[in-house]
Each structure stands twice: as C-alpha cells, then as structure tokens.
Chain A
C-alpha cells in the first residue's frame, strides 16, 4: 500500500510541477486573448443576454398598476370586480396620467386585448378628473370592457415580472384565459409561416450556392496559378463590396425598366416586361450571388488539402474518372461542403436588407419583422422573442449538422 501511495504522491507532485511550469505560457496566451474576450462580452454575449431577458420581461403592468394588482388578489376571477379594485385602478391611472405612463400600460395590454390602449388612455383622463368614488359605475359607464372578466384576468396575469406572451406569439401560440396554451386562430398565425419561408429561402440559396460554387472551387484548385489568381479575385471581389451596394446593383438589374428586361425585350424573347424585382426569384438570385463566396471558400480550402495523387491512385486501381471522383474526391470534400453550406444557411436565415429591397411582401423574412417591431411598432418584447426563435433555430440546425457529420468533419477555417 505504502509503495503505491508514494508513487501516487510522486505523480501528483510531477503533475503540479508540470502545471506550474506551464503557467507563464498559459497566462501570456490568456492575456493576448483578453481584449477579444472583453470585446465579445460587451458586443456579443451581453446583447444576447439582454435579448433573452427582453423576450420575457414584463415590467409595464407591474410598475404602473401596482395597487390594482394588489386589489385583484381577492378577486374571484369570474365576475366583474368590486369597488375596491376600481378605486385602486383609478388611483393608479391618476398617477399614471401625471407621470405620462398610462400609454405604456395601455400599449402592453393592447397586445392581448385589441383596443385596450385607447380605453386605458380614456380611463386615465377620466380618473385624473375624479375626486372621489364610487368609481365602479363611472368605469363601467365609460366602456363595457371594464365589465369583462377577461380584461381583469389579463391584467392580473401581467402582474408577473416575466411573461411567456412574446415567445408564445413568436411561434403562433397564446395563453387562453384559463391559463392553458393554445394555437392562435388560423388567420392570425403569421410567424410560423414566416419562419418556414425564411428556412425555405435559406435552403434554396444554400442549395444554389453549392451547385454553382462546387465546380468553381474545383476549377480554382486545378487551374494554372495565374488563372486561379484572377478567378479567386472574382470570387472575393463581391465580398469586398458593401452588401447594400450589391443589393442595389441587383435592383438596377432586376427592376421593370432594368437591364435584364431591356435585354430580354431587345432580343424579342418577351414582349411584355417580366416581373423580376419584388419576387421570390429576385430575392433568391440576389442572395445566392451575395452568399457564393461563403460557400466557395471553405470548399476550396478543403479541396486544396486533398492530394492530387488521390485521384491518380484511384484511376490506377481501376476506377474510371467519374467513379474516382464520387468515391474518392467528393467524400473528402464533405467537411468543406458542410462548413460552406452551414455558413451560408445560417447567414441566409438572418438576411434583412436584400429581401427588403429586392423581395416582395411574400419574401420578407424573420429579420424584416424583427426590424419592423423594433423600429415601427416599438414592440421590443416581440422583436426579442423572434430573435430568440431565430437563435434557437440556428443552434438547432448547427446541432443537427454536428450530429449528422461530426464536429471534426466541419472545416470552417
């Protein structure tokens, strides 16, 4: 026993000594990476955490109608509440009117009860003019919405600091008054079709870049040095041009009086102008063009690492040119193909400017709606929830690729 123990202690000592000896190198490496780590925390991790929080954060009702929420604790949930609840609501709204926060509460409740915003604003104006009760009759006189138990149950539910509302809405679900989760009415289900459309467009673009890019990558590897350099420049040039400039160029090409239509008409291939812009075709074409380098470069880098003698060896062993290509060459390019496709697919999921400028209303992707909710509707909660859904879909696809081909098979570098 004692012999084993000594040996173990000796080994532990050696291990500690080895770790200690490596410490300066480890520290140096860490300190070199520190600026980037700091930048990533500030510019990447923190915004994503903020996004996750915003998607479930629910501060409005809680902070603007605190008394109402307290009074609602004793409400039975099925009848119109009694006077104390209305008195509390009047007091909350009076304060809200003074602080100009009534519209925030109204807007938040409006997401779940259409028309609620104006009702809350009107009630707050009324409450500001009231000196004493009874309040119940006055509220009920002003709008019958205050008599509906659903209104009060929505208010009570939103007393919670966190809400699943935005996330549920982002995947076309809602909370029923009883608290269960159900699908929204079919005519209101918009986000899942948009997500499906986003995945479809990203998939088509990925497929097209692969079909167009794979042969280019192959030719790049076998072409003479000078020709390959020119080809490489042509692949890279779009990457160095602003996305907006390239998209605008496609607008110029695709528009009704644009270059393509002019050529088609001049060649008498068509007598009427073809609708190219604001179509799915236009969106996919422009996106494919922009994404091509992202698919080509990883494939090219993998192809370059394949020994040219591999194909010769296959031929010498009896494989014809086609067989040698599919059995020997193509499988070895798989890591590049997967990396390129993954990159293009994930980038395509987040496309915003190109569908906005070249696509029609039916081509707007999830990102466009995120932008709408942030810039126009100021509904940051829903924008964040859509962002979360997009993030989860992206992670799921990445995970799926990892499961299917293995992490070592994806060569992003």
Chain B
C-alpha cells in the first residue's frame, strides 16, 4: 500500500514543475510492476534524489525520464509537454551514467564536443564551449588525453562536462559516484552540488547511498517496492521518517514493536513487549491501529545518569556487545524482553560498563517516533 495519498507528492506548484510523472506504471512482463503508480513533480532548479535499494524502481524511473524506457501506463511531462514517445536524442536532457560511458576511441575534448555536433555547433564556437565545460570541472589541460589515461574521478568529471556542455535544463545522474573511493566521492558530491547551484540546473540523481542523498539533495524521494515511500527534504526525512522502511533505510534506527495505550500531556504512551511503558512524540497517527513500531536513533539514546532533559524514557538492559569507533562507543543492549537496542555513547561517558553487565539508558520522548507500518 502507498504510505501517503498521492496528492501529498504534488507539493510543487505545477507552473514551477519542469518534470511531472503522472500515474506512471512500468512493467516488463505485464504481471509484475517495477514502478507502481508514480506521481512526482520536479521543480525547476531543484536537486532531487531518488534513493532506494536495488530493484526499488528508481533507476527504471530515471530511464523513463531519459527516454530509454517507455512507461507502460501514465504520462511524463517535460516543460508541460508529454514526452513518453520522444526518443532520448530529442529530449535535450544531460545524462551521466554509472560507468561514465565515455567513448574510449575519442579524446576527452572529442567526447565533450560530441553533443555539440548534433546541435550545429562546430569549429571555434564548439572549441570554446568544450574549453569552458572542461574548465568548469578542472580538466582544461586534459583535452588531448584518452579516457583510459584518466583516473576514475577525472573520467567522472569528463562525463559531467559532456552532460553539461550543451546547457541542458535537466541533468540526470545514475549512481555516478558508485565506483569512486570514499574521499573522492565526498569531494565530488560537493563539486556536483556547487555546479548544480551555480548553473541553476535541475538535477535528478539516483543513488542507493543515503549519506550521498542527504548531502546533496533539496528533496529526496525514497523508493521501495516500485513506490515512493516518502518525499521530503533531507532534514525531515532524517528526523521524521513516515514509515518503518524509511526509518530503517535512512541512517540507523532502533525499531521496536509496541502497543498504543493512550495520550498524556501531548505525548503518546505505548507499552513495549516486556510491559514497560514509554512516551513518544504524538505524530500524525491515524489512530486506527494499536500495534505500532517505536523508532529511535542510536545517537538519541544516552546513559541514564547523564540525561539532562528532565523526565525522559528510562530503561535498562544487558550489554551484549561493545565496539570502539573512535569518537564514540557503540553498545548493543538487550532490553524490553530480548529486543536489541543500539546506542551510541560518547567515549568519555563509558565508565564501568562491560559486556554482560547491566546498563541504564534514557531517551527523550521527542526523539521517539511512532510508525504505523
């Protein structure tokens, strides 16, 4: 079932929408739908990330927008015009592929000049545009090299320059940083974000890396099972996941079953599996379900002694594992009758705690969220 009614997604006013997916469905075999009833607007100048595990439908959605797949049902509007039947070469969309897809038999400059020849730009005009595009990604000296002579990061930049050189209003990226090492990936994330803001391009970015999505995006659409589970800005997505999938997929989360008991002083009261009662933020619960999940992030759980914010949720459990992770310790605690709760405790506070011992933990009700499904 869809987590939210369809109209929640059309928060962008239609006159600002560059791209609009309207009830788009995609099936390869006529039985199973890879994309189920997709409604999504992308605003002009926005950096929108489609985030999800593999097989969630995010790449298929991107390919439909790029023109490489045709929707089985529904409509895709680009600048208000339906484009489902338009071949990719007539959409004027920049596309950066996962493996860069640079043309190995051409030099870097020829690669970047490639889209220009189809737009009637040749000679000196093309040369100037290529030089500017390469300059933008810091590769002005590499024009004569072959792609194979470049490092992964440089190839990535060439692909970027090639997708930007013809000044498309929309650029699509399919996990473009997946093959790079962590440091380079983080640097490229920032560079891509800068390029996008400074050029005012609309970008639709596909990734399965949630930290990448959080770093770069204006809005994130979390895909799972062919549907958008939640569409929100990174902060909202992180702090207020709307369902268990989003809570589990974005960052780390302790998600535990609980039963709704009632409301008290603006907070919801729930009973855990072992009978303990906890209080949680009273978020948009439909109220129809009594069986809920309580979700709380490991960094929001502290030691009970050091809990500063007045009356919180207090609970205790047995330490089953402890890991040193530099700036913090990671504790696995068996609580609420066998549930494993993970907590991140600053290293300085961890004294007298050992594996097998009992630990008293606390978390603020405001950090505890209730999820219906």
| Interface of A toward B, CB cutoff 8 Å | 307, 309-310, 312-321, 323-324, 327-328, 331-332, 334
Would you call A315 and B89 a contact (CB within 8 A)?
yes
Would you call A312 and B115 a contact (CB within 8 A)?
no
- 10 A-B pairs, CB-CB below 8 angstroms? A309-B98, A312-B88, A315-B89, A316-B88, A317-B163, A318-B166, A324-B89, A328-B103, A331-B105, A332-B103
Query: Could you mark each residue 63-75 of chain B with 1 if its beta carbon is under 8 Å from any beta carbon of chain A, else 0?
Result: 0001110000000
Closest-CB distance, A320 to chain B (whole angstroms): 6
Would you call A319 and B97 a contact (CB within 8 A)?
no
Query: Could you mark each residue 97-114 of chain B with 1 if its beta carbon is under 8 Å from any beta carbon of chain A, else 0?
Result: 111011111000000001
Closest-CB distance, A181 to chain B (whole angstroms): 47
Q: Which residues of B contact A320 (CB under 8 A)?
A: 87, 89
Q: How far is the CA of A130 from the CA of B37 in the complex (A)?
A: 115
Would you call A312 and B101 a contact (CB within 8 A)?
yes
| A317-B114, A317-B166, A332-B104 known; A307-B95 Cβ under 8 A | no
Which of B66, B89, B98, B104 touches A319 (beta carbons < 8 Å)? B89
Interface secondary structure of B, over-half rule: loop
Q: Which residues of B contact A328 (CB under 8 A)?
A: 103
Which of B92, B101, B105, B118 touches A309 (beta carbons < 8 Å)? B101
Closest-CB distance, B98 to chain A (whole angstroms): 7
Q: Which residues of A contact B95 (CB under 8 A)?
A: 312-313, 316-317
| A317-B118, A320-B89 known; A312-B166 Cβ under 8 A | no
- Asked if B187 is at the interface (CB within 8 A of a chain A CB), the reply is no
For the complex with contacts A310-B101, A319-B118, A332-B105, 19 further pairs of A-B residues with Cβ separation under 8 Å are A307-B99, A309-B97, A312-B95, A312-B97, A313-B95, A313-B102, A315-B67, A315-B89, A316-B66, A316-B67, A316-B91, A316-B95, A317-B89, A317-B95, A318-B89, A318-B92, A318-B118, A319-B89, A331-B105
Q: How far is the CA of A307 from the CA of B98 in the complex (A)?
A: 11
Would you call B97 and A317 a contact (CB within 8 A)?
no
Interface secondary structure of A, over-half rule: helix
Closest-CB distance, A114 to chain B (whole angstroms): 59
Q: Which residues of A contact B102 (CB under 8 A)?
A: 313
Query: Could you mark each residue 117-141 of chain B with 1 if its beta carbon is under 8 Å from any beta carbon of chain A, else 0?
Result: 0110000000000000000000000
Closest-CB distance, A313 to chain B (whole angstroms): 4
Closest-CB distance, A334 to chain B (whole angstroms): 8
Q: Which residues of A contact B92 (CB under 8 A)?
A: 318
Q: How far is the CA of A316 from the CA of B171 in the complex (A)?
A: 10
Q: Which residues of B contact A315 (CB under 8 A)?
A: 67-68, 87-89
Counting from the closest, the 6 A-B pairs by CB-CB distance are A318-B118, A313-B101, A316-B95, A317-B115, A309-B101, A315-B88
- Asked if B94 is at the interface (CB within 8 A of a chain A CB), the reply is yes
Query: Could you mark each residue 246-290 of chain B with 1 if its beta carbon is under 8 Å from any beta carbon of chain A, else 0?
Result: 000000000000000000000000000000000000000000000
User: Chain B residue with minimal CB distance to A317?
Assistant: B115
Closest-CB distance, B147 to chain A (whole angstroms): 11
User: Chain B residue with minimal CB distance to A308?
Assistant: B101
Q: Which residues of B contact A331 (CB under 8 A)?
A: 105
Q: How far is the CA of A316 from the CA of B174 in the complex (A)?
A: 13
Would you call B105 and A317 a contact (CB within 8 A)?
no
Closest-CB distance, A206 to chain B (whole angstroms): 23
Closest-CB distance, B358 to chain A (whole angstroms): 55
Q: How far is the CA of A412 from the CA of B177 in the complex (A)?
A: 34
User: Chain B residue with minimal CB distance to A330?
Assistant: B105
User: Chain B residue with minimal CB distance to A313?
Assistant: B101
Would you call A312 and B68 a contact (CB within 8 A)?
yes
Query: Could you mark each residue 147-177 of chain B with 1 if its beta carbon is under 8 Å from any beta carbon of chain A, else 0?
Result: 0000000000000001100100000000000
Q: Which residues of A contact B334 (CB under 8 A)?
A: none
Closest-CB distance, B249 to chain A (whole angstroms): 26
Q: Which residues of B contact A310 (CB under 8 A)?
A: 101, 103
